[in-house]
Amino acid sequence: MSLVMSRACVAVLAVLLLSSVCQAQLSSSFYDRTCPNALSTIRSAVRTAIARERRMAASLIRLHFHDCFVQGCDASILLVDAPSITSEQNAIQNKGSARGYEVIDKAKSDVEKIRPGVVSCADILAVAARDASEYASISHVGGPSWTTKLGRRDSTIASMNLASSQLPRFTASLESLIDLFGSKGLSSRDMVALSGSHAIGQAQCVTFRDRIYNNASDIDAGFASTRRHHCPTNLDNGDENLAAMDLVTPNSFDNNYFKNLMPKKGLLASDQVLFSRDGNPLSLFHAPFYAPL
């Protein structure tokens, strides 16, 4: 059994599982009559944004994940501070790192021009994440795609406290991650599949500084040395410096994320714990949905 997930499995499972935390009755044909051009309009906005900045694909997927993990997929992450709202954007897991809001705003604006007041922001987030994954997966023969169920309603409330306590942290232990995903009805194998979205995107130096300087046994020495070049040990300098999650194919949604964990080259501590504990591979990483390329 291969330890790495096929490209199609990563892309499809990651975003499908993101939406599985939603409990509403949804339908892929929800807007067929009320706004038949909604999906193509959203796709156009997403592709334009990613063509302008490849990193945006990962940002949109992460934005959807951070929305779904708090109160369900309800666009609560888009709500800003107001007299009755403390925005989830202020949570430590979001502040200064969650991005892509302007892309969702643009897609919403474009859809509103076609049919005002019909398409929810929550659905736009879900479709944008799917389209971002598909765009990042495109190869010479085309990337995978799937049908996104729609009909979510937008929240009128947000919870920074829930965001702070329920969104995964880059320092999380394996046990806490399993418990956290389990509280959302997701298994450890679901968790591994969702973590595959880290195949693309970048992380800030502050999120991996301790890992690359602690000389622990769970990180490749050469990998740590390379990562130190743009992440100084000085705690007052370089916190926001960016590093690709995957050095080989940083903008492609492929299975290098899983390959990197095997030689201890996971950038975040919370990623590396998925593969090894005290140097031994974890059984959850041998999930039956892994397949050879």
Residue with tokens 């999650």: 245
Smallest CA-to-CA distance from 194 within 281, 250, 270, 102 is with 270
CA 146 to chain centre: 17
The rounded radius of gyration (Å) of the Cα atoms in the chain is: 19
Residue with tokens 């302007």: 102
Q: Which residues are catalytic?
A: 66
Q: Where are the beta strands (DSSP E) in 9-123?
A: none
**Dihedrals φ, ψ of 87, to 5°?**
-60, 145
DSSP state of 250: T
DSSP state of 80: P
Pair of tokens at residue 285: 């990483």
Pair of tokens at residue 113: 């021009």
Amino acid identity of residue 224, one-letter, is: A
**Dihedrals φ, ψ of 115, to 5°?**
-150, 100
**Dihedrals φ, ψ of 239, to 5°?**
-55, -35
Q: Helix (H, G, I), strand (E, B), or coil: what is residue 53?
A: coil
